[in-house]
Copies of this chain bind each other. A is one copy, B any other.
Amino acid sequence: VIAILPVAGLPEIREGDDLGALVAAATALEDGDVVVVAQKVVSKAEGRVVALADVDASQHARELAGSDRDPRELEVILRETASVVRERAPLVIAETSHGFVCASAGVDHSNAPHEATLVLLPLDPDESARRLRASIREHSNADVAVIVSDSFGRPFRQGTTDVAIGVAGLVPLRDLRGTLDRGGRELRTTQVAFADEVAAAADLVRDDKADGIPVVVVRGLTPTGDGTARELVMPRDRDLFR
């Protein structure tokens, strides 16, 4: 049996906060728990926040913004973009420096739109997960794994699902028996995106208030091994969609 447990009572996260210590203080963790932390609070703790007032929009950003969107927002998105995968103003699907392909290069509005700030992805979400894990273990004595999650859209399907953009203390891909060739030999190993499924499961306890529950514990998986969320990025030479 696997249980998905929301963590209540976290304060509003600010730059410099020790998020791991706050999580450990907010809930009783057990060995083998997977702590799923929403990217937005990780980024806020790391100061990955930009004030729109400090941004000058380029010509490209103005074109992409069209009449609906703030060109400075598109400017920030373009700065976070390694390459534009698709654009249809005011939508930009971008590959980030990490290799993730997602809307707006992962740039989000802050919860408080009147502050006019944007939240960027962590510079290295796997490193963020490792730091969080170390801090949680220090403050709770529980041997946990950590996933930093974000909501990504997908080609071909409506709606976002939460995926893992950083992991620590678990192997993100799980090998299954694959397709067999005519002689019964394995032709291709099927891999399950285990960390993405855990991130999606964690999202189920969130109500419809955005960021109401930034931290969720998934209990009962007791993962072993280690890896990075970069392993979840499809290598370009195997990607049929780029």
Q: B156 to A234, Cβ gap below 8 A?
A: yes
Shortest Cβ distance from residue A233 to the other chain B in the assembled complex, whole angstroms: 7
Contacts of A240 in B (CB 8 A): 86, 88, 91, 93, 155
- Write the A151-184 contact mask toward B (1 if CB under 8 angstroms, else 0): 1001111111111000000001111110111101
Q: How far is the CA of A221 from the CA of B205 in the complex (A)?
A: 8
In this assembly, does A28 line the interface, its C-beta being within 8 Å of a C-beta of chain B? no
Please report which residues of chain A, range 1-37, place their CB below 8 angstroms from some CB of chain B when the two chains form the complex.
1-6
Q: B184 to A113, Cβ gap below 8 A?
A: yes
Interface size class of A (residues with CB under 8 A): 35 or more
Q: B239 to A159, Cβ gap below 8 A?
A: no
| CB-contact partner of A161 in B4, B156, B161, under 8 A | B161
Please report which residues of chain A, range 221-242, place their CB below 8 angstroms from some CB of chain B when the two chains form the complex.
221, 231-234, 239-242
Query: Which of A43-51, A122-130, A137-145, A194-202 lies on the face that meets chain B?
Result: A194-202
Shortest Cβ distance from residue A19 to the other chain B in the assembled complex, whole angstroms: 23
Q: How far is the CA of A193 from the CA of B176 in the complex (A)?
A: 25
Shortest Cβ distance from residue A115 to the other chain B in the assembled complex, whole angstroms: 12
In this assembly, does A204 line the interface, its C-beta being within 8 Å of a C-beta of chain B? yes
Q: Which residue of B has the minimal Cβ distance to A163? A: B157
Q: B241 to A86, Cβ gap below 8 A?
A: yes
Contacts of A184 in B (CB 8 A): 113-114
> In the complex, given contacts A1-B205, A113-B180, A158-B231, what are 9 additional A-B residue pairs having Cβ atoms less than 8 angstroms apart?
A2-B204, A69-B179, A91-B240, A113-B184, A151-B190, A160-B191, A161-B193, A162-B197, A177-B209
A-B contact pairs, 19 of them (CB 8 A): A2-B201, A2-B204, A90-B187, A109-B180, A154-B154, A154-B155, A154-B193, A155-B242, A156-B241, A156-B242, A157-B163, A157-B233, A157-B234, A158-B191, A158-B232, A159-B172, A159-B232, A177-B208, A177-B210
Please give the residue numbers on chain A whose beta carbons come within 8 Å of chain B beta carbons, in ascending order: 1-6, 68-70, 86, 88, 90-91, 93, 100-101, 109, 113-114, 151, 154-163, 172-177, 179-182, 184, 187, 190-194, 196-198, 200-201, 203-205, 208-210, 218, 220-221, 231-234, 239-242
